[in-house]
Chains A and B, each alone.
Chain A
Amino acid sequence: MSSVFQRYLALANQVLSWNFLPPNLGRHYIAMFESSQNVLLKPTESWREALLDSRVMELFFTVHRKIREDSDMAQDSLQCLAQLASLHGPIFPDEGSQVDYLAHFIEGLLNTINGIEIEDSEAVGISSIISNLITVFPRNVLTAIPSELFSSFVSCLTHLTCSFGRSAALEEVLDKDDMVYMEAYDRLLESWLTLVQDDKHFHKGFFTQHAVQVFNSYIQCHLAAPDGTRNLTANGVASREEEEISELQEDDRDQFSDQLASVGMLGRIAAEHCIPLLTSLLEERVTRLHGQLQRRQQQLLASPASGSADSKVLDDLYEDIHWLILVTGYLLADDTQGETPLIPPEIMEYSIKHSSEVDINTTLQILGSPGEKASSIPGYNRTDSVIRLLSAVLRVSEVESRAIRADLTHLLSPQMGKDIVWFLKRWAKTYLLVDEKLYDQISVPFSTAFGADTEGSQWIVGYLLQKVLSNLSVCSSEQDLANDTVQLLVTLVERRERANLVIQCESWWNLAKQFASRSPPLNFLSSPVQRTLMKALVLGGFAHMDAETKQQYWTEVLQPLQQRFLRVINQENFPQMCQQEEVKQEITATLEALCGIAEATQVDNVAILFNFLMDFLTNCIGLMEVYKNTPETVNLIIEVFVEVAHKQICYLGESKAMNLYEACLTLLRVYSRNNVGRQRADAPAEEEEQYQDLLLIMELLTNLLSKEFIDFSDTDEVFRGQEPGPAANRSVSAADVVLYGVNLILPLMSQDLLKFPTLCNQYYKLITFICEIFPEKIPQLPEDLFKSLMYSLELGMTSMSSEVCQLCLEALTPLAEQCAKAQETDSPLFLATRHFLKLVFDMLVLQKHNTEMTTAAGEAFYTLVCLHQAEYSELVETLLSSQQDPVIYQRLADAFNKLTASSTPPVLDRKQKMAFLKSLEEFMANVGGLLCVK
């Protein structure tokens, strides 16, 4: 009996998950809908009677109440309810009926879940019901239901969120495989974000108390006892085994970014509560951390040999601070990419609201004395709370810096170090030198403490720089920490206003000098970190300085690089000693620095940087020769070229671009001379090394080609006055370099190498670009090259990913057009396109293919049909004559007739092509799949 019922539920679930699509939707859309996982219920009007009958929804609620203890059936019945919760569209005749439906549904839902203990298997289903209701029903409908009902609904949501959050934390402690509560919790937190983001429909403060509860419970779950319940199970605190965490594991701030964003948003809504809470929790832990570290230091002084005592107390503190800083970061600022992040309006409002009670001087004092306890400053309670929260993080940072100075680095947590610089970066991007023009109203404490031209901002910049230096002095062995640290440095100099303050700090100049001299500890940093450091130093050089200072700055930063490099490579016996480890390290450091310089390129510094780098590029080619047997160095040299081309080519005018093309061509020649016929001992490593070389060269070529479609240069505008005279005698063009490069690469490519996905994509991207940009050069290729290019295209169309297939199809159109233009009916390209006609024909008519490709395939197909009309008719004839079923024969024949009806005779003309593509869509909908060999 129950199995019959289960079938019934599954069936109901299927019907409620139907996609109701308008009848005339193109195949493309159908495919899109078919692929989407979550179908929302949007039936047609004819379903009105069936679904709006309140007994239907009641039936499903009743059913669920009866079977909820059977976890399999409960999932189906909850899924049915979730589908009903997503009901929308023409089925509702007016807003009133939608309000009634929603009210009724919420009533049913509350009756079902209030007062019961939720089963594990119900959590995800219930959270989807709520999430669907909040996503699908418009705000004005939500607020139109009886206000008491709406309040109960929000209270229920609050209760469920907190309770799922606690259960999710428990799942983590027990290390369960199936994290159902975590999934449910994620979904509810996301619903909160949707609900509160558009809050003008609700009266002010409506959500505050709820936000406080959810926020508190999140904090509680993440703090250790006694304040929190982290690692707490029914049997007391679980002793967690310290597990091995791989470097590939995502950092919490990324892994839980969605949760943190929701919690941060709720924290803003309840800023009055949450900001002081975070402040006091952090301040209290700073004091404890300080005390702990001091005690440890004394122990170490008393008996240096005493091994590491139990680290549990420290680890608990670190974990608390870790989560507090993450939440604070998400609460105070947004992470935006590309645009200037703004101070969240809730935070600004909160600070303004209290600014009359605030004593500015004490606030500045709290901010400016991170070494002291906040509560030791007289009048500390009359300070701006937002600034006090920032200063609480600075206090953590100060304890860390002092511990580093006291040689206690081994006791510190690198994770907490990362959290601190991550926070400071996020904060600095939004608040430091706040631009008053961007806000209607600005908080006086903010503009006094971190506005432009204030002592406060100058002090903070100095402090942050010190922090960076302190970290870099010890973190060469902690790569992630070093990386986050240099990212903070880049943030400080990437905007001119901030950079202006940075370069006034003596410590910045010291950093520059120290880095240029390649002395410890900076030279121990890993290469990506050194690269970013170089980038920051170059960016800083474009801050506002008088001519003399600027001159001095470049003398400190860039000149040593050049001098050291020239000194090394101009030594008489350089070729003999080039393999010595010190020499190699020197060369590697220079090459990394060059990449960093290229990365710092901006439109207003490209002139200086390009000229500086060009001098090096010539020397680098010489290095290619010297280090021809050292693959890692060769890779790095090519990478320098890749970076320069990537960052600078789009700004270069004709003559400068030519210089770069020539340099690249020479590089490729040298590479080719040294690598043809090469074979190394250890096969797998060899393939990987070669793979790296090839990938870089393809990137280089693609970057050079990009000039053809992204070009910001204004005929050497940025170089004006530097080197007059147009390049009348163009010696090298992008096409020459790229085709030379392709000549070089093609023989080295093998089907095995194409198994590396990145390499494969890059390769096809490159050849498609070439076909699109220089189709006229293709017939001029040497015969074997031409053949392998055509073979590559065929391979790409028939046995690679759909992305590659699409690229190949895109390459065919310009090739066929080229043939039509040339009007040679016996050229190899002409013959090749005939072969491609058959391939595309088969693909469209006979094979199952990704519908997203129909457009690219259609365009290629039409152009090929125009070129080879007779062959096309032949293909159609052959296909038709092989059909034995007369019905199918007729259907096909009609379809083919209709397909070409709008374009007879087919000519290369845009209008006809569009008409053909439209017919093709109909053709595919009509007979596509009919002949598919499954």
Chain B
Amino acid sequence: MSDDLGFETGDAGASATLPMQRSALRKNGFVVPKGRPCKIVERSASKTGQHGHAKVHLVGLDIYTGKKYEDICLSTHNMDVPSIKRNDFQLIGIQDGYLSLLQDSGEVREDLRLPEGDLGKEVEQKYGGGEEILITVLSATTGDAAAAIKAMAK
């Protein structure tokens, strides 16, 4: 890892991405192929012929769109790994498919979509049922996405 790689500056002065050797990437980790942060859902290694060099095959899902990304490359190849942050916010409302989340500062942010699929339904259901829940938000360089829910600690 050379120091002369200029990192983009993220919101907290953090480097947006970090190059990492492909062999070091793990399942459930994150990578940024072609500028889109993806969660790695599948990873396997192989070699061509008995005396070939190791190659790594990756399948990732875009954390915002769920779009599939797939490729195979030599394991010495470098890939960008994003800084992913996770924060819990209290859910205080749902409007027009957007969540209202109470931030630690006391401000309310209303720019996050209600997630699609089962999780979205679950959020609506629990919120509708009057449960107090926290939403875990994944933040990467290119935006945020709701990724999990959790009951409020009593």
Chain A interfacial positions (CB closer than 8 Å to B): 242-247, 314-315, 318-319, 322, 410, 413-416, 476-480, 520, 524, 526, 576-577, 579-582, 585, 629-632, 673, 676-683, 685-686, 689
In the bound complex, do residue A526 and residue B23 qualify as a contact, i.e. CB atoms below 8 Å apart?
A: yes
Q: A678-B148, A681-B146 are in contact. Are A315 and B122 (CB under 8 A)?
A: no
Complex CA gap A477/B47 in Å reads 12
What are the nearest 5 A-B pairs in CB distance? A677-B151, A413-B51, A629-B86, A242-B49, A680-B148
Complex CA gap A479/B25 in Å reads 12
Which of A318, A322, A520, A629 neighbours the largest number of chain B CB atoms within 10 Å of its CB? A629
Chain B contacts for A247, CB-based, 8 A: 44-47, 54
User: B113 interface residue, CB < 8 Å from A?
Assistant: no
In the bound complex, do residue A580 and residue B15 qualify as a contact, i.e. CB atoms below 8 Å apart?
A: yes
Q: A319-B51, A677-B151 are in contact. Are A632 and B26 (CB under 8 A)?
A: yes
In the bound complex, do residue B54 and residue A478 qualify as a contact, i.e. CB atoms below 8 Å apart?
A: yes
User: B102 interface residue, CB < 8 Å from A?
Assistant: no
Complex CA gap A525/B10 in Å reads 28
Chain A contacts for B29, CB-based, 8 A: 632
User: B150 interface residue, CB < 8 Å from A?
Assistant: yes
In the bound complex, do residue B136 and residue A629 qualify as a contact, i.e. CB atoms below 8 Å apart?
A: yes
List the A residue with the shortest CB-CB distance to B23.
Answer: A477
Q: A579-B84, A632-B26 are in contact. Are A683 and B118 (CB under 8 A)?
A: yes
Chain B contacts for A673, CB-based, 8 A: 153
Interface string of B108-145 (1 = CB under 8 A from A): 00000001011100100000000000001000000000
Which of A415, A581, A585 neighbours the largest number of chain B CB atoms within 10 Å of its CB? A581
In the bound complex, do residue B53 and residue A677 qualify as a contact, i.e. CB atoms below 8 Å apart?
A: no
Interface string of B21-54 (1 = CB under 8 A from A): 1111010110000000001010011111111111
Name the contact of B150 in the complex, choosing from A245, A477, A677, A685 (C-beta under 8 A). A677
In the bound complex, do residue B122 and residue A689 qualify as a contact, i.e. CB atoms below 8 Å apart?
A: no
User: B94 interface residue, CB < 8 Å from A?
Assistant: no
Complex CA gap A486/B136 in Å reads 40
User: B68 interface residue, CB < 8 Å from A?
Assistant: no
Chain B contacts for A314, CB-based, 8 A: 51
What is the minimal beta-carbon distance from B121 to any residue of chain A, in angstroms?
A: 11
User: Residues of B within 8 Å of A, CB-based: how many?
Assistant: 51
CB neighbors of A among B64-82 (8 A)? 74-76, 81-82
Chain A contacts for B15, CB-based, 8 A: 580-582
In the bound complex, do residue B51 and residue A679 qualify as a contact, i.e. CB atoms below 8 Å apart?
A: no
List the B residue with the shortest CB-CB distance to A314.
Answer: B51
In the bound complex, do residue B50 and residue A689 qualify as a contact, i.e. CB atoms below 8 Å apart?
A: no
Q: A581-B18, A680-B147 are in contact. Are A246 and B46 (CB under 8 A)?
A: yes
Which of A315, A582, A679 neighbours the largest number of chain B CB atoms within 10 Å of its CB? A679
Complex CA gap A683/B118 in Å reads 8
What is the minimal beta-carbon distance from A416 to any residue of chain B, in angstroms?
A: 7
Complex CA gap A315/B49 in Å reads 9
List the A residue with the shortest CB-CB distance to B51.
Answer: A413
User: B14 interface residue, CB < 8 Å from A?
Assistant: yes
Which of A322, A414, A520, A683 neighbours the largest number of chain B CB atoms within 10 Å of its CB? A414
In the bound complex, do residue A410 and residue B12 qualify as a contact, i.e. CB atoms below 8 Å apart?
A: no
What is the minimal beta-carbon distance from B33 to any residue of chain A, in angstroms?
A: 16
Chain B contacts for A318, CB-based, 8 A: 50-51
Name the contact of B41 in the complex, choosing from A582, A632, A685 (C-beta under 8 A). A685
User: B5 interface residue, CB < 8 Å from A?
Assistant: no
4 extra interface residue pairs, beta carbon distance < 8 Å, beyond A242-B52, A581-B18, A685-B28: A414-B54, A476-B24, A477-B74, A679-B119
Complex CA gap A581/B50 in Å reads 35
Complex CA gap A579/B84 in Å reads 6
In the bound complex, do residue A414 and residue B148 qualify as a contact, i.e. CB atoms below 8 Å apart?
A: no
In the bound complex, do residue B21 and residue A477 qualify as a contact, i.e. CB atoms below 8 Å apart?
A: yes
Q: A580-B14, A581-B18 are in contact. Are A477 and B53 (CB under 8 A)?
A: yes
Complex CA gap A585/B29 in Å reads 12
What is the minimal beta-carbon distance from A230 to any residue of chain B, in angstroms?
A: 12
User: B88 interface residue, CB < 8 Å from A?
Assistant: yes
In the bound complex, do residue B49 and residue A582 qualify as a contact, i.e. CB atoms below 8 Å apart?
A: no
Complex CA gap A677/B61 in Å reads 25
Chain B contacts for A477, CB-based, 8 A: 21-23, 53-54, 74-76
What is the minimal beta-carbon distance from B57 to any residue of chain A, in angstroms?
A: 10
List the A residue with the shortest CB-CB distance to B119.
Answer: A681
In the bound complex, do residue B28 and residue A632 qualify as a contact, i.e. CB atoms below 8 Å apart?
A: yes
Chain A contacts for B14, CB-based, 8 A: 577, 580
Chain A contacts for B54, CB-based, 8 A: 247, 414, 477-480
What is the minimal beta-carbon distance from B58 to any residue of chain A, in angstroms?
A: 14
What is the minimal beta-carbon distance from B56 to any residue of chain A, in angstroms?
A: 9
Which of A244, A416, A480, A526 neighbours the largest number of chain B CB atoms within 10 Å of its CB? A244
Complex CA gap A580/B48 in Å reads 36
In the bound complex, do residue A579 and residue B83 qualify as a contact, i.e. CB atoms below 8 Å apart?
A: yes
Which of A414, A477, A478, A526 neighbours the largest number of chain B CB atoms within 10 Å of its CB? A477
Subset of 30 A-B contacts with CB under 8 Å = A242-B49, A244-B46, A244-B47, A245-B52, A246-B45, A318-B50, A318-B51, A413-B50, A413-B51, A414-B52, A414-B53, A477-B21, A477-B23, A477-B53, A478-B23, A520-B1, A580-B14, A580-B83, A581-B18, A581-B81, A581-B82, A629-B86, A629-B87, A631-B28, A632-B29, A676-B151, A678-B149, A680-B119, A680-B136, A685-B41
Which of A315, A322, A681, A685 neighbours the largest number of chain B CB atoms within 10 Å of its CB? A681
List the A residue with the shortest CB-CB distance to B131.
Answer: A677
In the bound complex, do residue B49 and residue A410 qualify as a contact, i.e. CB atoms below 8 Å apart?
A: no
Complex CA gap A18/B81 in Å reads 65
List the B residue with the shortest CB-CB distance to A242.
Answer: B49
Which of B1, B24, B88, B146 neighbours the largest number of chain A CB atoms within 10 Å of its CB? B24
Complex CA gap A582/B23 in Å reads 17
In the bound complex, do residue B51 and residue A681 qualify as a contact, i.e. CB atoms below 8 Å apart?
A: no
List the A residue with the shortest CB-CB distance to B136.
Answer: A629
In the bound complex, do residue B22 and residue A414 qualify as a contact, i.e. CB atoms below 8 Å apart?
A: no
Chain B contacts for A479, CB-based, 8 A: 23, 45, 54
Complex CA gap A517/B131 in Å reads 49
What is the minimal beta-carbon distance from A62 to any residue of chain B, in angstroms?
A: 47
Chain A contacts for B47, CB-based, 8 A: 244-245, 247, 414
Chain A contacts for B74, CB-based, 8 A: 477
Chain A contacts for B76, CB-based, 8 A: 477
Chain B contacts for A520, CB-based, 8 A: 1
Complex CA gap A414/B52 in Å reads 7
What is the minimal beta-carbon distance from A509 to any residue of chain B, in angstroms?
A: 24
Complex CA gap A247/B45 in Å reads 5
In the bound complex, do residue A679 and residue B150 qualify as a contact, i.e. CB atoms below 8 Å apart?
A: yes
In the bound complex, do residue A689 and residue B24 qualify as a contact, i.e. CB atoms below 8 Å apart?
A: no
List the A residue with the shortest CB-CB distance to B22.
Answer: A477
What is the minimal beta-carbon distance from A682 to any residue of chain B, in angstroms?
A: 8
List the B residue with the shortest CB-CB distance to A480.
Answer: B54
What is the minimal beta-carbon distance from B76 to any residue of chain A, in angstroms?
A: 4
Q: A476-B21, A479-B23 are in contact. Are A678 and B51 (CB under 8 A)?
A: no
What is the minimal beta-carbon distance from A52 to any residue of chain B, in angstroms?
A: 52
Complex CA gap A601/B2 in Å reads 36
Chain A contacts for B50, CB-based, 8 A: 245, 315, 318-319, 322, 413, 415
In the bound complex, do residue B136 and residue A581 qualify as a contact, i.e. CB atoms below 8 Å apart?
A: no
Q: A245-B46, A524-B24, A679-B148 are in contact. Are A478 and B53 (CB under 8 A)?
A: yes
List the B residue with the shortest CB-CB distance to A578.
Answer: B85
List the A residue with the shortest CB-CB distance to B66.
Answer: A682
Which of B29, B81, B83 neighbours the largest number of chain A CB atoms within 10 Å of its CB? B83
